[in-house]
Structure 1
Amino acid sequence: MTQLDILIVDDEINIRKTLSVFMQSRGHRVTAISNSHDALKESALHVFDIAFVDLRLGTENGLDLAHSLLGVCPRIKIVVMTAYASIDTAVEAMKRGAADYIAKPFTPGQIELVTERLAGICDMENRIASLQEDLNRIHPEVYFSSRHSSMQRAIELARQVASSEAVVLLRGPSGTGKTVLARSIHNWSRKASKPFGIISCPSLSRELLESELFGHMKGSFTGAVRDNPGRVSSCEGGTLFLDEIGDLPISIQPKLLRFIQDREYERIGDHKTRKADVRIIAATNMDLEKAVKEGRFREDLFYRLNVIQIDLPPLSGRPDDVELHAKNMLDFFSAQNHKSFSGFTEKALLAMKEYSWPGNIRELRNVIERAVILGKTGQIGEELLPETIISQAPPVRIGDPLALEVIEENHIRSILASVSSLQDAADILGIDQATLWRKRKQYRI
């Protein structure tokens, strides 16, 4: 069963102890409270998955507390407990947002059944949220097959560290797949059923970035019309990916350092110290050592982030991977666009393998998607590739590992470019004009 954070609210100490021991024996984290005030205080500091709430808490009404808990944490599952069970109170509990209702005295089997059912719902909600993020920025998951030793080492290291709680720093040029690798590390970890959040540090101003990261209280600054719990809170139990961490403003860096060290933070406009169990994965294409020397990045934060460093090599040094990824992406985008392609022409493949790919895998993805959209059926030829790729392709040489028709096509193109008439070209090639016309049609010259 998934490990859950469980809140128990009951004014009877024996109930609290019994439930706590039972839940802890099942591997869950438990906080046991006797009253509404302390329960709300704890829920402001921690994100709970399930709350077992007694209907009568001395002079207090447990249903009122259930409503308040849902206001603080909308995804919490409330189980109302009572020794005064009736249909009316059960109906009222459900109206107030309770997920289940259980009568006292209850058996361990009943508690386990309720917990397993709600754990399944929590797990399903987390998976749906993760799938929704994937749909919002759909991409072919092809990046983690590689024929290149440096990329294979990076993938293997990522798999090894996934099961730990260590901070991971992903380094490499833009477009090498750092975001996809961060998500994979999360999915390979024990936190896979918990949320995965992303913050792009360069995309927000200093004020908005701090608010997005740690949250803010209503009225704490102009435009703060409602409370914002922040990504740290919403990723409780899961992973937060900080993309382009080198662009994190210097004023926010001490707050992030404190959170990494102590798991503590405050929302903007609120002095209450909160805690969160969130793993940090960061990425950068910047020379952080240089940024530290220039005073743009804190040295202590750099060392905290750089516990495990994974370097992703650029695509330009991995020509075999270009072909591998291009073919996988072609299958992906062909299916997405309801088209059928058998592959690439040899000349198109050669051009792609010789291209420098300054945008790395992201650029390759865009090129293949464009080719599929513009193409019809059959093979993807060079005519469907951007001019920037074709212009960088080296001339074909005798002895290159190419089909005869590729050499023939390039020879005909070269001759046509060097003469002033088709008859001159035909004479040099040793063929008649009709044959040359057919060859030009065949090769789309």
Structure 2
Amino acid sequence: MAKVLIIDDEMQLRRLLSRIIGLEGYEVAEAADCASGMKMLRQHEPDVVLCDVKLPDGSGVELVSRIKEAAPAVEVILMTAYGNIPDGVQAIKNGAFDYITKGDDNNKILPLLSRASEKAQMQRRLARFEDKLSEENSFDRVIGSSAALREAVELARKVAVTDTSVLLTGETGTGKEVFARAIHHASRRAHEAFVAVNCSAFSKELLESELFGHRAGSFTGATKDKKGLVEEADGGTLFLDEIGEMPLELQTKLLRVLENGEFIKIGETRPTKADLRIIAATNRDLEKEIKAGNFREDLFFRLSVFRIQLPSLNQRRGDIADYVRYFAGLFSAKMGKRIENIDKGYIEAMENHTWRGNVRELRNAVERSMIMADSNVLSVGTLPPEFRNDAGVAADGSMTLEDVERNHIVKILEYTGGNKSEAARLLGIGVATLYRKLESWGLKS
């Protein structure tokens, strides 16, 4: 139910409006002046304030600013006995939803209330969504308490409040995009776009078009103008993952963006301006790539003004149990399974494993275990086959390791509804490898 606060010193009119609005299903509160109106604003938490322009202790026009400062999502409709254009203009400037004349515009009140309350509730939903998004991307959500990880977090917190370019380095799967998002959401650009692109996912020609955009007709297939990701990130942050894979020709164009905030679209001769922050990430040794002639030294220096090395999971094994519990909770909600216990042997196997894919690999392993679990316990028996040696156990009974692997893959395929691409992703193998295994077992593909 939407809430309305009426602020008017004319009691008879106030009560009449209250009855009319109440009959429309609104929850109504009343106040007779600015002071009591601000008090009711805090107590009643209305969606819309219907306010007289002239009040005993102040101006309704000025009160709009106070209301919007205290409760930005609340919409204010001002009412006046005598229309006054300067007052109306100032009211709108102060943030009023509308300005109406009593008597002449009485038939407008209910439709206005409906639109204003709808806008206020939408703004509240958006604010809640932004709060949730901010919480999900905050540094507080970075899992782990190891010294190496906390040091990386502390460095990221310090650089986040600046506009400095950041280079995140570390093995694949160490959470570089998680850090990039946290830096963005802790920066002054938090309410602007965060745009991410993996530089290894495109050919040179496609990556140039994706990053810098193009004009229609500039090359075969360019049927309309395209805005590039650099332009999309204007005002916000551009995250360039796998920057070491970027071709040299594009590195030159990126350097220009870093140096003077401008770039040239494909098919244009005039530069376009963009105000953005760049965060780059790589699992390569860029200094070696410079010596090999694959990466520009000047670009490296511009990108690595502030460099953060993310530790591998193998360097912080004390964090593994926290990750297991976190992902078990995450997949419990997604799969509708309730995991009440995680065996000590299961945790030990995870801690003894060599994590080549880091957190990304661990996440997949827990997801596969959740699929295999027939009870509310994650035990050694739910481990993926390749983890059995880490647990120091062999297959059950007369089952060979190949039997265990076959049963595991069959269950994963059941979970994915036969989707082999998704099954291969979960298993951490290529689709072709999965087909070969199925064929060797005589399973229909």
1:113 aligns with 2:95: yes
Paired AA for residue 177 in structure 2 = T
What per-residue deviation string (whole Å, max 9, x for no partner) do you get for residues 285-337 of structure 1? 00000001111000000000001111111101211111111101111110111
Aligned twin of 2:333? 335
Aligned twin of 1:68? none
Change (3 A) 1:208 1:106: farther
8 Å Cα contact 1:142/1:328 also seen in 2 = no
Gaps of 5+ in 2: 1-84, 98-115, 401-445
Equivalent-residue separation in structure 2 for 1:166 and 1:127 (angstroms): 29
**TM-score, with normalisation over the residues of structure 2?**
0.60
What per-residue deviation string (whole Å, max 9, x for no partner) do you get for residues 240-284 of structure 1? 100000001001011100101100111110122111111100000
Aligned twin of 2:343? 345
What per-residue deviation string (whole Å, max 9, x for no partner) do you get for residues 48-91 of structure 1? xxxxxxxxxxxxxxxxxxxxxxxxxxxxxxxxxxxxxxxxxxxx
SS in 2 for 1:283: strand
Q: CA deviation at 1:369?
A: 1.2
1:171 aligns with 2:140: no
8 Å Cα contact 2:198/2:240 also seen in 1 = yes
Equivalent-residue separation in structure 1 for 2:121 and 2:213 (angstroms): 28
Q: CA deviation at 1:373?
A: 2.1
Equivalent-residue separation in structure 1 for 2:128 and 2:213 (angstroms): 23
Change (3 A) 1:411 1:193: closer
Change (3 A) 1:210 1:413: closer
Paired AA for residue 294 in structure 2 = R
Q: Please tell me the root mean square deviation across aligned C-alpha atoms, in Å.
A: 3.6
Q: CA deviation at 1:105?
A: 8.9
Change (3 A) 1:124 1:208: farther
Aligned twin of 2:358? 360
Change (3 A) 1:206 1:105: farther
Change (3 A) 1:120 1:251: farther
Equivalent-residue separation in structure 2 for 1:362 and 1:193 (angstroms): 28
SS in 1 for 2:168: strand
What per-residue deviation string (whole Å, max 9, x for no partner) do you get for residues 140-167 of structure 1? 9996132210111001111111111000
Q: CA deviation at 1:109?
A: 3.7
Q: CA deviation at 1:376?
A: 2.8
Count of matched residue positions in the alignment of Structure 1 and Structure 2: 294
Alignment of 1:144-159 (within 5 A): 144-159=142-157
Aligned twin of 1:193? 191
Equivalent-residue separation in structure 2 for 1:139 and 1:232 (angstroms): 22
Aligned twin of 1:36? none
Equivalent-residue separation in structure 1 for 2:121 and 2:286 (angstroms): 42
1:379 aligns with 2:377: yes
Paired AA for residue 343 in structure 1 = N
Aligned twin of 1:46? none
Alignment of 1:49-64 (within 5 A): none
8 Å Cα contact 1:126/1:195 also seen in 2 = no
Alignment of 1:8-407 (within 5 A): 107-113=89-95, 144-393=142-391, 395=392
Equivalent-residue separation in structure 2 for 1:146 and 1:171 (angstroms): 18
SS in 2 for 1:197: strand
**Residue range with higher mean Cα deviation, 103-112 or 265-274:** 103-112
Equivalent-residue separation in structure 2 for 1:141 and 1:370 (angstroms): 27
Paired AA for residue 317 in structure 2 = P
Equivalent-residue separation in structure 2 for 1:336 and 1:140 (angstroms): 22
**TM-score, with normalisation over the residues of structure 1?**
0.60
Equivalent-residue separation in structure 2 for 1:237 and 1:197 (angstroms): 11
8 Å Cα contact 1:130/1:195 also seen in 2 = no
Equivalent-residue separation in structure 2 for 1:227 and 1:120 (angstroms): 36
8 Å Cα contact 2:139/2:182 also seen in 1 = no
Gaps of 5+ in 1: 1-102, 396-409, 418-445
What per-residue deviation string (whole Å, max 9, x for no partner) do you get for residues 105-124 of structure 1? 96444223179x99999998
SS in 2 for 1:252: helix
8 Å Cα contact 2:138/2:186 also seen in 1 = no
Aligned twin of 2:24? none
Runs of 4+ in 1 over 2 A off after TM superposition: 103-109, 117-132, 138-143, 410-414
Paired AA for residue 241 in structure 1 = F
SS in 2 for 1:113: coil
Paired AA for residue 110 in structure 1 = I
SS in 2 for 1:286: coil
Change (3 A) 1:122 1:248: farther
Change (3 A) 1:141 1:162: closer
Change (3 A) 1:294 1:159: same
Q: CA deviation at 1:392?
A: 3.3
Change (3 A) 1:412 1:173: closer
SS in 1 for 2:151: helix
Q: CA deviation at 1:378?
A: 2.1
8 Å Cα contact 2:137/2:182 also seen in 1 = no
Equivalent-residue separation in structure 1 for 2:218 and 2:128 (angstroms): 33
Equivalent-residue separation in structure 2 for 1:269 and 1:411 (angstroms): 62
Equivalent-residue separation in structure 2 for 1:140 and 1:368 (angstroms): 23
SS in 1 for 2:340: strand
